[in-house]
Each structure stands twice: as structure tokens, then as C-alpha cells.
Structure 1
Amino acid sequence: MLKKVLKMGVVVSAIALAAPAFAENLKGAIVVMDLTTNAFQIEMADQAVAYGKEVGVDVTRYAPQGSFGDYEGQISIIENLITKETDIIILVAGHTTALVPVVKKAMKAGVAVVNMDNRLNTNDIVAYVGVDNGQGGKDAVDYIAHKLGGVGKIALIQGETGNPVQILRTKGFELGALVHPGLEVVAQQGAAWTEEEGLKVMEDILQSNPDLDAVFGESDNLAVGAARAAKSAGRDDIVIVGYDGQQGGYAAIKAGDIDATIRMDARKMVELSMDAALKYIENGKTTEGVDAETYLAPELVTAAEVDKYYKE
């Protein structure tokens, strides 16, 4: 199995340099979990549409109408895309195993399915492209440890419990806590990835732990919500770290409301996913020469780096 680990900003897309002629008549889709409240899901979908135009593939965005974890809605979408004879599906999976049968069905029907971001528990795909979320969770704790001098009370506001990304970011956080024994984890609670959930959970945490020193929110929305709760409690000294690298998170860093975020490069993930699908199709729908797994390294963004990414 071919596996590649890449640092941010070092990958150049070969196909993007010249759109292949065979791509002009291809129909593509990106299926994410949410297109209403989650900024990173929306960015991935928008980037897929934009990059599709660059390489000649007509890409349409899809997400279930239900809750963030509505994987049954994703199954229905993929079934419909198979019927429509869609050529390429980039899938941000809402469940590690529940979508496997429909993905296998799509591949058998000749659809090039690339699994992006949330890892499916199958190799019956063209490729997987994502970020090392476990490393990102540990990077967040390493930064917190540095800010606190290695000693302090910390909390974790998780994303939706059971989500593939939540599991990995939590594992990274737990590893970071182990390697920094001076940090005491006083709270660990799941939420639904939204700012309002971050606010509500942080209020509960602060009630039980008024001497809290730091918190890691597993999305920028959660971190910004936590910052609102901290500010309302008169606690502007709490170290707060988010995840995803979204404009809301960058704005909060600029304002001094949160200290850092862990950035994921949505554009690069989309480019690598689409390029893998196109190479698969060009190769006669074989995976020869296609990296089975590609992981981008997460990037810590603090006030020192935020101007590279923040858009006013």
C-alpha cells in the first residue's frame, strides 16, 4: 500500500497545471456532512467546486438535510449519485463503517470514490486524503503546555462523540496530556461542533472548575464559543486553542479571544483528492500509481502566523 505524508505548502498538483481533456465531460460530487453551520465543511465543498472548474470537472456540493452526523442521509445521496452515473465522488464520511457498503457499491458501478478527511474503515476506494488529526490534537496540548510552563488544569471540548475526526483529535489530546504530566485534565465533554455548543459546555466546565487554566476545542467554532463563556465569566487569562483554521478562528486570534488554532488545508486536500480520482480514471480505473493514503501535517497558527491566512 502506498502511503504519503506531506508537510503543508509543499505539494504541487501536477494535473492542476494543465486540465486533462478527458475531464471535460466528467460529473463530480463532493458529499460532506453539513453545508449550513460548519465552516470547514463548507470550505471543503466550495474548494471542490472551484478546483473542479480549474481541471474541467463539473462538481456539485451535497450534504444531508438532517443533523451533522446524518450518515443515512449521506447514504441516500450516494445512492442517487450512482443512479445519475456520477463519475467522481469526494466523500467526507459521517461514519467509519455505515457508509462502507454504499461506497463499495459506487466503486463497483464505476464511480471513482475518494475518501477525504474523515477516514472510512475500508480500502475499497480510490484513495484516502486527510490530515493527521491525532498529531493535531497533540500539537494543541504541546502548545498549551508551553504557554502554561508545563503545569495547569486543562479541559477538552470534543466534537460530536463517535465522529471519526473527534476520535482522532481526542486521542491526540490524551497523548499530549500523558507526555505533559504537569497538566491535569479536569473535564472532557462532547458537543456538536457549533459555537453555541462550545459556549454551553464551557459554562458548565467553568462552574465545576473555576480555576481552569486552558481548554482545547476540537473545532474553531467550539473554541470561539468557549472564549465567549470565558469572557462572560471574567476569565480572559484562559489559554484557548481551536482546530480547523477557519476565518472565525483567525478573527478570534486577531482579537485576542483565543490563542491558537490547528490549521487544516482544505484546498490542498481537495486538490489531492480530485487528482487521485482523475489519475484513477485516466489509468483505466485502476489504482496503479495512486497513493492509497496521503496525510497532510497539521499547522499550529498563533498570533505570529495568523496574518498569512486571515482575510478581513
Structure 2
Amino acid sequence: MNGTRIAALTLALASVVALAGCTTSSQAADDKPTEDYYADFVPPTLEPEAGSDEVVDTSKFVKPEGEPLVIGYADASLSNSWRVMTKAETEYAISQIPDAELVYTNANDSTPKQIADMDDLITQQVDAIILSATDVKALCPSIAKAEAAGIPVVIQEREVDCDDYTTFVSLNAPELGAYQMEYVAQRLGGKGKIAIVSGIPGTGHTVAVETAYKKVLENYPDIEVVDTQYAEYDATKGRQMTAAILTAHPDLDAVLGISGNLGIGVFQGVQDAGLVDQMKAWVGDDANGWMLIHKNNNLPSMTVPYPVSIGAVAVDTAAKILRGEEVMKTTEVARWAAPEDFSANISDYANDDRPDEWWYNDMPCEFDPFCKS
């Protein structure tokens, strides 16, 4: 990897409809009063991620020097743009390692398919497996099987309910959820009605964010979650779910989409209902479509980065394991900035020259599937 990229990844290891011009139905963004939505925000108090201080002995996985590396990537799917760009980051990182090969499988969000993919990668005797699990429990036997075969398993982003993997490369979804819900709760003054448009039941990100939301709300008993619907991280489904929610509950103070892609659909649904100005808070991440909505409508939003660079970090971590280098049981990927700073400076990250599907990143344009060179 080039020096700049290595430095960025080292820091990380250490620590769909175009809406660019969207405004509220009643008021253009330029006409809105300027307000610092983050000056009084008090960040949540969070414990370090489990395993972040636990060193893993990688000596049993060492490959002889000079031998090519074959790394399997058992992906959950390419059903949303975050997964597409994370795959691109993975491919970029592989290209920077001499004599390295990526064996890619796509489960299409099917747990039986991913179990079969894991079996196939084990049969091929790949040197390491990067796994983005479709289910928090169902892939645990496959993880154990791979480790028993001498293949280290790097869990990418979606946590699992077992610990016999080698390392978990994490984006700390519980932190994302805690920041988002804490911001909403403070914007509501600790009282009000909200709804949640969530991802895919049983998947690591969905479970982690929902659990974090619930934990924060234990401190705010006067905030009522009137409905939670699942839109599979799809903006169109998110819009439909939001419309249905607002039909049943037109007096809501906020509708939370647990990802940027869902946030796009949530905003569209709220805008369709003519209720944008009624919403007291919003949440999202660094999906460009959401960032543009946040920026162009001057929304009070806690937009928490969820870096696609995890793809590259997972590859670098797998390579370190195969070289016998020290890794931690949990490796947390650094965000581009603290959530409140990222949100307050969203115009520095939103890109008018990229489509909604683009996510903020620093990989070369030739590898970025949404970059216009």
C-alpha cells in the first residue's frame, strides 16, 4: 500500500434516488435560520468494546514467507451501496499486497447460502476468511469449522454471538446507535413519540443498533417508540414504511432510519407527508444521499460515519495474522471524525459530484465504483 494509505489504515487499526436538491415542502434550505445543532449536545458515556484490549496469538496461522496469500471473503450480500463500496475497498486492499488473491462469495442475504459458501472456502483451503455474517448465531458452527481447519476467521462489521473467531474488525455499531438515540432524546427534551425504520432482523448491525437505542431510552422513560418496521436497508422500502408509520401516527417527533440508505427513504416519506418541519431530530451516516439531504436541508441530524474503509482494514488484518503479527480480539476502525464534529461539518464530506450511492472514502477513483474520473 502507498504511504498515505498505510498511515490511514494504521490509524484505523489503532484506535437511492438523487436528492441533492431536496428541500422541505414549506421552506428552502437557504431560507432556514442558521443554528448550531450540536453546541449543547452531551455525548453518551460508552464502555470500550469487548476484546479491544485482548491480544490474539497468531503464530499458528503463519504462512511461509514468499508464498502467495489466498483470502476468502464470505460476504452477506451486495444488496445496498455500503456493501458494494466495502467490497471495492476490499479489492483495493488486495491489489496492494503482492501475490495476494481474493476468493469472493456473495450470500445474497441468505444464511443457508452463506453456510454453503463457508464450507466451500474451507474446502478450497483458503489461507484466511473474512466473514460478514448474515445472522448473529447461524454462522457460528461455520466459524468453528474454519478455525478447526487452521483457517483464521476475520469477522467484518457484523458481530456474531460466539467468540471462536480470530478477530472482529468493528465499526462499533453500538456506539453509532448510542450517539444517534442520545442526540434524538436530547433534541426532544427527553419527551415525545418516535418510530424506527430498521434494517434486517437478526443481522449484526441491526441487532447492535436496536440494542443501543433501547439502552439509551432506559434513561428517557417519557420517549415512546410507537412502531418499528424493517426495510432491509433499502431506501424505497424505507419510504414506504415511513409513509405507513406516519399514516398511523401523524404526531411523531422523529422517525429514525438506522442507516443512511434508510435515512434517504425516511426523509422522502416524511417529505411526502408534508411533515419535515415537524421532525425535531434526524439520524444517518455517511451515505452521500443522506449527507446531501442533511446539508441541503440544514437538518438537525446526528450523522455518524460508518466507514467503508473497513473492507481494506479487514484485508490488512488478515494479512497481519498470516504474517504472525499481533492483532487484537477486537479491532475498531476509526471514524472519519467524531460524530458530532462530522455532523456539524457535513458540507466537508457530502459530495455534489457523486451519486447518492457513494460513501465517503479515500480510495483511488479507479477502484471506487461510484467515482467519476
TM-score norm. by structure 1 comes to 0.83
Q: 1:107, 1:124 within 8 Å by CA — same for their partners in 2?
A: yes
Q: 2:291, 2:346 within 8 Å by CA — same for their partners in 1?
A: yes
Q: Secondary structure at the match of 1:11?
A: helix
1:33 matched to which residue of 2? 76
Please tell me whether residue 252 in structure 1 is matched to residue 293 in structure 2.
yes
2:152 matched to which residue of 1? 112
Provide closer, same or farther for how the CA distance between residues 101 and 303 of structure 1 changes in structure 2, counting only shifts above 3 A: closer
Question: Unpaired segments of 5 or more residues in structure 2?
Answer: 1-7, 15-62, 354-373
- The count of residues paired between Structure 1 and Structure 2 equals 291
1:125 matched to which residue of 2? 165
Residue 271 of structure 1 and its aligned partner are, at CA, apart by 4.0
Q: 2:80, 2:234 within 8 Å by CA — same for their partners in 1?
A: yes
2:118 matched to which residue of 1? 78
- 1: CA distance between counterparts of 2:12 and 2:332? 15
Q: 1:227, 1:240 within 8 Å by CA — same for their partners in 2?
A: no
Provide closer, same or farther for how the CA distance between residues 126 and 108 of structure 1 changes in structure 2, counting only shifts above 3 A: same
State how 1:254-269 maps to structure 2 within 5 Å: 254-256=295-297, 259-267=301-309, 269=310
Provide closer, same or farther for how the CA distance between residues 303 and 290 of structure 1 changes in structure 2, counting only shifts above 3 A: closer
- 1: CA distance between counterparts of 2:190 and 2:293? 24
Q: 1:27, 1:86 within 8 Å by CA — same for their partners in 2?
A: yes
- 2: CA distance between counterparts of 1:239 and 1:10? 38
2:316 matched to which residue of 1? 275
Q: Secondary structure at the match of 2:314?
A: helix
Residue 296 of structure 1 and its aligned partner are, at CA, apart by 4.3
Could you say which structure has the greater relative contact order, defined with CA pairs below 8 angstroms and 6 or more residues apart? 2
Please tell me whether residue 150 in structure 1 is matched to residue 190 in structure 2.
yes
* Structure that is richer in strand per residue: 1
- 1: CA distance between counterparts of 2:124 and 2:225? 49
2:97 matched to which residue of 1? 55
Q: Secondary structure at the match of 1:129?
A: strand
Residue 21 of structure 1 and its aligned partner are, at CA, apart by 9.9
Alignment match of 2:85 (pick from 3, 20, 43): 43
Q: Secondary structure at the match of 2:303?
A: strand
1:90 matched to which residue of 2? 130
Q: 1:38, 1:194 within 8 Å by CA — same for their partners in 2?
A: yes
Alignment root-mean-square deviation, CA: 2.7
- 2: CA distance between counterparts of 1:235 and 1:43? 32
- 1: CA distance between counterparts of 2:284 and 2:161? 23
After superposition, give the CA deviation of every residue in 1:234-254 in whole Å (9 maximum; x if it has no partner): 111224534442222222222
After superposition, give the CA deviation of every residue in 1:158-187 in whole Å (9 maximum; x if it has no partner): 211222221111111112222234423222
Residue 72 of structure 1 and its aligned partner are, at CA, apart by 1.1
Alignment match of 1:300 (pick from 320, 339, 347): 339
1:17 matched to which residue of 2? none
State how 1:144-293 maps to structure 2 within 5 Å: 144-237=184-277, 238-239=279-280, 241-256=282-297, 259-267=301-309, 269-283=310-324, 289-293=326-330
1:64 matched to which residue of 2? 107
Residue 289 of structure 1 and its aligned partner are, at CA, apart by 3.1
- 1: CA distance between counterparts of 2:294 and 2:95? 33
Q: 1:103, 1:113 within 8 Å by CA — same for their partners in 2?
A: yes
TM-score norm. by structure 2 comes to 0.70
Q: Secondary structure at the match of 1:263?
A: coil
- 1: CA distance between counterparts of 2:285 and 2:129? 23
Q: 2:188, 2:281 within 8 Å by CA — same for their partners in 1?
A: no
Provide closer, same or farther for how the CA distance between residues 149 and 12 of structure 1 changes in structure 2, counting only shifts above 3 A: closer
Q: Secondary structure at the match of 1:55?
A: coil
Deviates more, 1:227-236 or 1:140-149: 140-149
- 1: CA distance between counterparts of 2:263 and 2:240? 11
* Structure that is richer in helix per residue: 1
Who wins on radius of gyration, i.e. which is larger?
Answer: 2
After superposition, give the CA deviation of every residue in 1:88-127 in whole Å (9 maximum; x if it has no partner): 2211111122112222222233323201111122322221
Question: Unpaired segments of 5 or more residues in structure 1?
Answer: 1-7, 15-19
Q: Secondary structure at the match of 2:178?
A: helix
Provide closer, same or farther for how the CA distance between residues 178 and 9 of structure 1 changes in structure 2, counting only shifts above 3 A: farther
Residue 143 of structure 1 and its aligned partner are, at CA, apart by 1.4
After superposition, give the CA deviation of every residue in 1:55-84 in whole Å (9 maximum; x if it has no partner): 33322443124xx3x111111222222232
After superposition, give the CA deviation of every residue in 1:115-151 in whole Å (9 maximum; x if it has no partner): 1111122322221111222221121112113333333
Provide closer, same or farther for how the CA distance between residues 294 and 23 of structure 1 changes in structure 2, counting only shifts above 3 A: farther
Residue 192 of structure 1 and its aligned partner are, at CA, apart by 1.6
- 1: CA distance between counterparts of 2:66 and 2:139? 27
